[in-house]
Amino acid sequence: MNEEIKSNLEYLFNINYNNIKSISLEKIIDNIIIEEAETYVINLDGSVTKGLDKIEKTKLLNAKNNSELITAFESVKKMKFNEKEIISEFKTDILNSITELKNKIDSENKGFKNQIIFLEYDYEPRAYFCGFGKGEYPILKKPEYFEFNFREELYAGIGKVDYSKIWKKLTSINKILEDLDIDQLVWESELYQNLLNSVKFKTYLFLHKAFEEIGIKSFKGIEIEKPLMIYGNEHDCESINIYSYE
């Protein structure tokens, strides 16, 4: 089961990273300008505008020569991480969080068995644990929505796994894009989504290794139904498998 999960995560990382590893920032911006030329915006007065307005296009063209943005983009694109250090810190975060989960479950004593965990992040690069009861939980080829036993909630928003060491270079790019007032245009582009997904699935691969190393014994004291399925997702977005304890 975990071989399949890891293989899926590796595939998702590679298919996204291969799209951007040889791409320049200039190419991304050129693509945005071309794509936006085919879009139409209905204005408040009912008139229709095609493509970017002059101010938006100027901002994008200026960004192509922004040395700070170019350097930040080339840096994040390298995907260079201290894997050993990140996995070690993930393990510490997970183990500390499990202690919080136990305390939460013991204090409320709902009597449910825990079979699914979501590691859910939102605006900040930090994920929190949400745990629910028994169900038939799938191994997914790509992030999807699926039904889970939300009625048997054991905990939500508990603990913390800090993704910031992996996400900090992408966060730097986002700050520059905001300062240049082109963030929304870039974030919605397909190539930026490839970059974002590369960082996300690399994070999940590191988490996969961390959960493998801490083992199922770390959950001792929590009533578990096997297989215990662990997924990752952004808040209110599709989920993907990270690990399974069989």
Task: Spell out the per-residue pLDDT of the chain, length 246, in tens.
Answer: 999 999 999 999 999 999 999 999 999 999 999 888 767 666 677 666 666 888 999 999 999 999 999 999 999 999 999 999 999 999 999 999 999 999 989 888 788 999 999 999 998 999 999 999 999 999 999 999 999 999 999 999 999 999 999 999 999 999 999 999 999 999 999 999 999 999 999 999 999 999 999 999 999 999 999 999 999 999 999 999 999 999
Q: What is the pLDDT of residue 49?
A: 65
CA 55 vs CA 61, 62, 160, 181, 182: distances in Å: 10, 11, 41, 10, 11
Is 73 inside any structural domain? Answer: no
Q: What is the pLDDT of residue 53?
A: 84
CA distance 117 to 140: 15
User: Would you say 224 and 113 are in contact if contact means Cβ atoms under 8 Å apart?
Assistant: yes
What interhelical angle do 83-108 and 164-179 show, nearest 10? 100
Specify the number of domains making up the chain.
Answer: 1
User: Would you say 232 and 127 are in contact if contact means Cβ atoms under 8 Å apart?
Assistant: yes
Is 70 inside any structural domain? Answer: no
User: Would you say 214 and 91 are in contact if contact means Cβ atoms under 8 Å apart?
Assistant: yes
Is 218 inside any structural domain? Answer: yes
Q: What is the pLDDT of residue 109?
A: 79
What angle (nearest 5°) sits at the alpha carbon of residue 219, between those of residues 218 and 222?
Answer: 155
List, in order, residues 6 or more apart from 236 with CB less than 8 Å away. none
| Residue numbers of the domain that contains 114 | 83-164+207-245
Q: What is the pLDDT of residue 37?
A: 72
Is 152 inside any structural domain? Answer: yes
**Predicted structure pTM score:** 0.93
Is 223 inside any structural domain? Answer: yes
Is 116 inside any structural domain? Answer: yes
